[in-house]
Amino acid sequence: MVKDVITCPSTCNIAEAMQIMQSNRIRHLPMLAEDDKLIGMVSMRDMMELCLGDMMGMGL
């Protein structure tokens, strides 16, 4: 557990989310709406599956 949770806005794109996760060495990233309410959680696994899908021509 951490004291200051790292989050990203819902407008964050995949590259920005991956950068936040890599630079902070975290595997899960809460996504917040404009009113700071939690709307979802993305994981590094989610990101890797999207990237691999794009590379394989599956385009999720």
Q: Does domain 8-55 have CATH number 3.10.580.10?
A: yes
**pLDDT at position 57, please?**
72
pLDDT 10s digits, 5-55:
999 999 999 899 999 999 999 999 999 999 999 999 999 998 888 888 777
Give the pLDDT confidence score for residue 32 in this predicted structure.
Answer: 97
Q: Which helix (H) or strand (E) holds 42?
A: strand 38-43
pTM listed for this prediction: 0.78
- The whole-number pLDDT of residue 58 equals 59
- SS3 (DSSP) at 31: strand
- pLDDT value of position 3: 85
- pLDDT at position 56 is 72
Between CA 22 and CA 26 the distance in angstroms is 7
| 10 vs 42: CA distance, rounded Å | 11
